[in-house]
C-alpha cells in the first residue's frame, strides 16, 4: 500500500485512512441530521426552539462535511490522474514515442 510520510508534518497515515475518515464523518453527520429532522417535526407539536436549533446546526455541519468530501475527491482524483498520465506517457516514450513506423 502507498504510504504518505507525514500529514501536516505530524502524523503518519495511509491513503485509505483519509477516505474512511470522510466516509464515517459524513455517515455520523447524516444520521444526526435525520434525528434533527425528526425533532423538527416534533417541534411542530411541541414548540421549543431547542428542537429547531438542532436542525439548523446539523444542516450547517452537513454542508461543511459535504464540501470537505468534495474537495478531498477532487484532490485525490487529480493526483491519480496526473500519476496515471505520467505512467502512460513514460510507457509511450519507452515504446518509441512519436517516431514514424517503417
Taking only the tens place, the pLDDT of each residue in 28-65 is: 999 999 999 999 999 999 999 988 999 999 999 999 98
More confident residue, 26 or 35: 35
| pLDDT score recorded for residue 37 | 94
Does the structure show a pLDDT above 90 at 95?
Answer: no
**13 and 4 Cβ atoms separated by less than 8 Å:** yes
Q: What is the longest distance spanned by two Cα atoms in the chain? A: 84
Could you tell me the residue ranges of all domains in the chain?
Answer: 16-94
Does the structure show a pLDDT above 80 at 82?
Answer: yes
Does the structure show a pLDDT above 70 at 4?
Answer: no
Taking the C-alpha atoms of residue 99 and residue 102, their distance in angstroms, rounded to an integer, is 9
| pLDDT score recorded for residue 69 | 83
Which backbone phi and psi does 54 adopt, to 5 degrees?
-60, -40
Q: Region 12-23: what's the mean pLDDT?
A: 61
Amino acid at each position: 500500500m502507498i504510504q504518505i510520510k507525514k500529514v501536516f508534518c505530524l502524523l503518519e497515515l495511509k491513503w485509505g485512512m483519509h477516505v474512511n475518515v470522510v466516509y464515517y464523518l459524513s455517515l455520523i453527520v447524516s444520521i444526526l441530521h435525520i434525528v434533527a429532522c425528526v425533532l423538527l417535526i416534533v417541534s411542530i407539536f411541541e414548540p421549543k426552539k431547542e428542537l429547531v436549533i438542532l436542525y439548523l446546526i446539523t444542516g450547517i455541519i452537513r454542508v461543511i462535511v459535504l464540501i470537505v468530501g468534495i474537495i478531498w475527491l477532487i484532490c485525490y482524483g487529480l493526483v491519480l490522474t496526473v500519476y496515471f498520465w505520467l505512467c502512460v506517457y513514460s510507457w509511450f516514450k519507452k515504446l518509441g514515442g512519436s517516431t514514424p513506423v517503417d
